[in-house]
Amino acid sequence: DLSMIHRFIPATVEGATPLLLLHGTGGDESDLLGLGGLLSPGAALLSPRGQVLENGMPRFFRRLAEGVFDEADLRQRALELGAFVEEAQEHHGMARPVAVGFSNGANVASALMMLDPTKLAGAILIRAMVPFAEPPAFDLGGAQVLLLSGGMDPIVPTDNAARLARQLQEGGARLTHEVLPTGHGLGQMDLVIAREWLAASF
């Protein structure tokens, strides 16, 4: 068996880039399957459940307070997620996925990209924030990343999102950063922009 609780939806369209779906705090492995199907109809969907519980709510890594991460735990869990992705690729015979992460799921995805830039083909990071106070050196080699921020996000200040954008660019991502007139929640605009970006980029 694979090392994380997850759901896997096999591809029905050949050649469609698989999506790695990473839910937000309190979500689970079923949460983003609908979004994944809308973003790339027929693509394989790999959707793990975060292995940390915070007051009963699944997350992908521990935090000390809102927006204050346990960086040692984040490092370990991000690398575990990378290992899971590799296992799942072998097991299901699928290609390297593009991550689609929301909030806590976006944060673990950007941490994984910084710690091991080879694991993901690219990423859609929705309401992500800077994962590490001091980012490691990394080279994403031109991997495509879409960062969707909320201009009125109470959890991720716009300057924090801008800092993450800079770090990803300096780390070699081909980054598209859009700041939407919205808060922390995921909405229709995210879907529309992400779908177009995905179709144009992969």
CA 123-128-95 angle, to 5 degrees, is: 15
Residues 6-45 within binding reach of ligand MLT (CB under 6 A): 24-25
* Rounded Cα distance, 15 and 43, in Å: 8
**Of 40, 24, 34, 170, nearest in space to 108 by CA:** 24
Whose Cβ is closer to ligand MLT: residue 40's or residue 107's? 107
| Annotated active-site residue in 40, 103, 110, 149 | 103
Find the catalytic residue in 47, 110, 149, 153. 153
Q: Any contact of residue 58 with ligand MLT (CB under 6 A)?
A: no
Give the phi and the psi of residue 5 in degrees, each rounded to 5: -60, 135
Q: Does 50 bind ligand MLT (CB under 6 A)?
A: no
Q: Is 23 a catalytic residue?
A: no
Angle at 7 between CA 175 and CA 98, to 5 degrees: 15
Residue of this chain nearest to ligand MLT (CB atom) = 104
Query: What is the three-class DSSP state of 52?
Result: strand
> DSSP label at 144?
E
The smaller minimum CB distance to ligand MLT, of residues 18 and 58, is found at: 58
Question: To the nearest whole angstrom, how small is the minimum distance from the Cβ of residue 116 to ligand MLT?
Answer: 19
- Is-catalytic flag, 153? yes
Minimal distance, residue 146 CB to ligand MLT, in Å: 18
How near is the Cβ of 12 to ligand MLT at its closest, in Å? Answer: 32
**Minimum CB–partner distance for residue 155 and ligand MLT (Å):** 5
| Interface with ligand MLT in residues 87-146 (CB under 6 A) | 103-104, 107
- Binding status of residue 66 toward ligand MLT by CB under 6 A: yes
Decide: 60 and 76 in contact? Cβ < 8 Å. no
> Considering the complex, what minimum distance in angstroms separates the CB of residue 152 from ligand MLT?
15
Q: What is the distance between the alpha carbons of residues 100 and 122, in angstroms, rounded to a whole number?
A: 9
**How many CB atoms sit inside 10 A of residue 67's CB?**
13
Distance CA 189, CA 184 (A): 13
Catalytic status, residue 103: yes
Structure tokens at 46: 């790999």
**Which residues bind to ligand MLT, rule: CB under 6 A?**
24-25, 63, 66-67, 103-104, 107, 155
**Residues carrying an active site annotation:** 103, 153, 184
